[in-house]
Amino acid sequence: MHSTDRSHLGVNMSKVRIAVVVGSLRRESFNHQLAGALPTLAPADFEFKPVTIGDLPLYNQDDDANQADVVKRLKLEILAADGLLFVTPEYNRSIPGVLKNAIDHASRPYGRNAWAGKPAGVIGVSTGAIGTALAQQHLRNVLAYLDVPVLGQPEAFIQAKEGLFDASGQIGAGSKAFLQKWMDAFVGFIHMHQNSKTVQKGQAPP
Ligand X SMILES: Cc1cc2nc3c(=O)[nH]c(=O)nc-3n(C[C@H](O)[C@H](O)[C@H](O)COP(=O)(O)O)c2cc1C
Tell me if residue 146 falls in helix, strand or coil. Answer: coil
Find the binding residues for ligand X in span 160-189 (CB under 6 A). 160
Backbone dihedral angles phi then psi of residue 196, each to the nearest 5 degrees: -90, -5
All residues at 6 or more sequence positions from 61 whose CB lies less than 8 Å from its CB, including other chains: 108
Could you tell me the smallest distance in angstroms from the CB atom of residue 33 to ligand X? 8
Q: Does 126 bind ligand X (CB under 6 A)?
A: yes
- Of all residues in the shown chain, the one whose CB is closest to ligand X is 128
Site for ligand X in 86-105 (CB under 6 A): 89-93
User: Shortest gap between Cβ of 60 and ligand X (angstroms)?
Assistant: 23
> In this structure, which amino acid lies at residue 36?
G
Burial of 55 (0-12, 13-18, 19+ CB in 10 A): exposed
**50 near ligand X, rule: CB under 6 A:** no
Candidates 104, 84, 204; CA nearest to 151 is 84
Q: Which of 30, 48, 182, 186 forms a contact with ligand X (CB under 6 A)?
A: 30
Smallest separation (angstroms) from ligand X to the CB of 98 = 10
> According to CB under 6 A, which one of 29, 101, 137, 203 is a site residue for ligand X?
29
CA-to-CA distance for 197 and 95, rounded, in angstroms? 29
Instruction: Provide, rounded to whole angstroms, the least separation between the CB of residue 56 and ligand X.
Output: 17
166 in Cβ contact with 132 (< 8 Å): no
For ligand X (CB under 6 A), the number of binding residues is 14
Residues that bind ligand X (CB under 6 A): 24, 26, 29-31, 89-93, 126-128, 160
